[in-house]
């Protein structure tokens, strides 16, 4: 029997754990990802990829979101770009 990992349950007015030093709520993050500037989206996506748990990344993002902004992301660890590029390429080959 396999177990399914479930991500964190975020409340709309709650600040997610990976934005510990910013006053931003779950609903504000979703709104910025939908309608924010390209710069805001790139920053948010990078932050989520660097600090959120794997299962929580997908609460906010799709592979298409990551792919669209990957070229402009500035990761703390340069190897992260290579890992995400590899993952996105592999996932696109399955389609």
* Domain limits, the chain: 23-94
pLDDT attached to residue 27: 95
50 sits in which H/E element: helix 38-51
The pLDDT tens digits of the residues spanning 44-81 come to 999 999 999 999 999 999 999 999 999 999 999 989 99
Q: Which of 10, 55, 46 is nearest to 28 (CA)?
A: 10
**Percent of the chain topping pLDDT 70:** 92
């Amino acid at each position: 029997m396999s177990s399914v990992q479930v991500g964190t349950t975020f409340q709309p007015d709650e600040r997610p754990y990976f934005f510990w030093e910013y006053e931003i709520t779950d609903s504000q993050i979703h709104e910025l990802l939908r309608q924010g500037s390209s710069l805001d989206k790139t920053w948010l996506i990078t932050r989520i990829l660097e600090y959120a748990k794997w299962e929580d990344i997908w609460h906010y993002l799709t592979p298409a979101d990551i792919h669209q902004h990957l070229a402009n992301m500035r990761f703390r660890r340069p190897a992260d770009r290579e890992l995400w590029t590899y993952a996105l390429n592999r996932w696109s080959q399955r389609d």
